[in-house]
């Protein structure tokens, strides 16, 4: 974490966030502050606090599938094997084929809404087949 002077009243506040899981490159966030050194130090303290609380995250080029793998791995100690198995089946069958290869930073609410609509349409089709007794 550092403050770099860029001009008479301009400072660059740089906060190190860690390393990218895939590329192993440093991940940092940079904020330009126009004002005094004291205001730059306040911004730095605020960013450090956000980092420590887990609110300051900078997405990498990681794809959604990798994030899902990290989630499943981290939750294995608090979920039963049955729950883990169900989650893996659901994610492998429904989520990964449709949006799993998208970089995290490109996943939008629209992307998720399209997936939900697809899943609801699929559920409705399956329900209609069961009700008609055909197909």
The pLDDT tens digits of the residues spanning 121-135 come to: 887 787 777 766 555
Same domain, yes or no: 41 and 70: no
For residue 83, name the pLDDT band (cuts at 50, 70, 90).
very high
Beta strand pairing call for 26-34 and 2-5 = unpaired
- Whether 80 is in a domain gets the answer yes
Same domain, yes or no: 42 and 95: no
- Whether 8 is in a domain gets the answer yes
Per the prediction, the chain carries an average pLDDT of 86
What's the rounded mean pLDDT across residues 102-113?
A: 90
Same domain, yes or no: 68 and 46: no
Same domain, yes or no: 6 and 28: yes
- Whether 101 is in a domain gets the answer yes
Number of domains within the chain:
2
Q: What is the pLDDT of residue 71?
A: 87
Domain of residue 32: give its range. Answer: 2-53
Same domain, yes or no: 82 and 23: no
- Whether 58 is in a domain gets the answer no
Question: What digits encode the pLDDT tens for the residues 44-70?
Answer: 999 988 888 777 766 666 789 988 988
Same domain, yes or no: 18 and 77: no
Same domain, yes or no: 69 and 128: yes
């Amino acid at each position: 974490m550092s403050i770099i002077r860029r001009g008479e009243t301009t400072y660059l506040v740089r906060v190190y966030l860690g390393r990218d899981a895939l590329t192993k490159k440093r991940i940092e966030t940079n904020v330009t502050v126009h004002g005094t050194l004291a205001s730059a130090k306040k911004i730095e303290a605020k960013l450090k606090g956000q980092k420590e609380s887990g609110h300051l995250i900078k997405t990498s080029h990681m794809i959604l599938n990798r994030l899902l793998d990290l989630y499943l791995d981290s939750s294995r100690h608090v979920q039963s094997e049955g729950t883990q198995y169900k989650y893996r089946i659901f994610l492998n069958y429904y989520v990964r084929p449709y949006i799993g290869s998208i970089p995290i930073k490109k996943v939008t609410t629209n992307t998720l809404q399209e997936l939900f609509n697809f899943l609801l349409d699929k559920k409705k089709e399956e329900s209609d087949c069961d009700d008609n007794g055909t197909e």
